[in-house]
Amino acid sequence: MRVRLPNDWQPRDYQLPAWTYLENGGRHCELVWHRRSGKDEVALHRTAVAAFERVAGYWHCLPEYSQARKAIWDAINPHTGKRRIDEAFPHALRKATRNDEMHIQFVNGSSWQVVGSDRFDSLVGSTPAGIVYSEWALANPAVKAYLRPILAENNGWQIFVCTPSGRNHAYTTLKAAERDMLAGRDSFAQLLSAEDTGVFTSETLESELKAYIDDFGEDYGRAKYEQEYLVSFEAANLGAILGRSLGIA
């Protein structure tokens, strides 16, 4: 059976610049996109292509190992009803699938595994050629420094995808990538809000804002909406707002 990669998938218009950068051999990509914009889909399908361009190991890194199974390994695409990993990595391309380790071995010798940044020190000795840092804003930032020498040694690549969570390390790495991009160095950085992509109608966004406010109150709800859908690093501190609303700050 012949499989064409990416498997039954094409990047949306707003995903195309990032996809093109990666397809052309880009090694450092930072995508700060709003919720439900397909960040992980881009990363998964690009990894599938990469695994058959170069025989090597590839990782999809979540902030916590315990959440990786639900978020990636067992996750269902609501538009197709299929597992996300089955769409990106068809069974015809696999030699073995180890469910207990969330590990796939491909027929060409490459492999792909879901790992957690909370256990990065246990990954020593491995030599991945590509790492996707999913939900980067919520991850342990030390994992990047720990694994970067591995990628540098084997000329590997890294993709960081997230929505903001305040001005933390994700903001810092995005800005650094933007500076490198402007200087002509090998980096790609992109911040896309729901108003940029057109994934949601204006009516849906208005409804989401109202729902957040109904659930959390005006200040916290609006800040949460701006963070998740408008990808705002400037949204007020959510913990402080929630504390005030509960009378504990």
pTM for the model stands at 0.92
Query: How do beta strands 111-116 and 188-192 pair?
Result: unpaired
Instruction: Please answer whether residues 189 and 177 qualify as being in contact, where contact means their C-beta atoms are separated by less than 8 angstroms.
Output: yes
pLDDT along the chain (249 residues), means of 10: 91 98 98 97 98 97 91 93 96 97 97 89 80 96 91 96 95 97 97 97 98 94 95 72 48
Residue 133 Cα to chain centre, angstroms: 6
Distance CA 29, CA 153 (A): 18
Instruction: For residue 245, give the amino acid letter.
Output: S
Specify the pLDDT at position 89: 98
SS3 content of the chain, % helix, strand, coil (to 5): 50, 20, 35
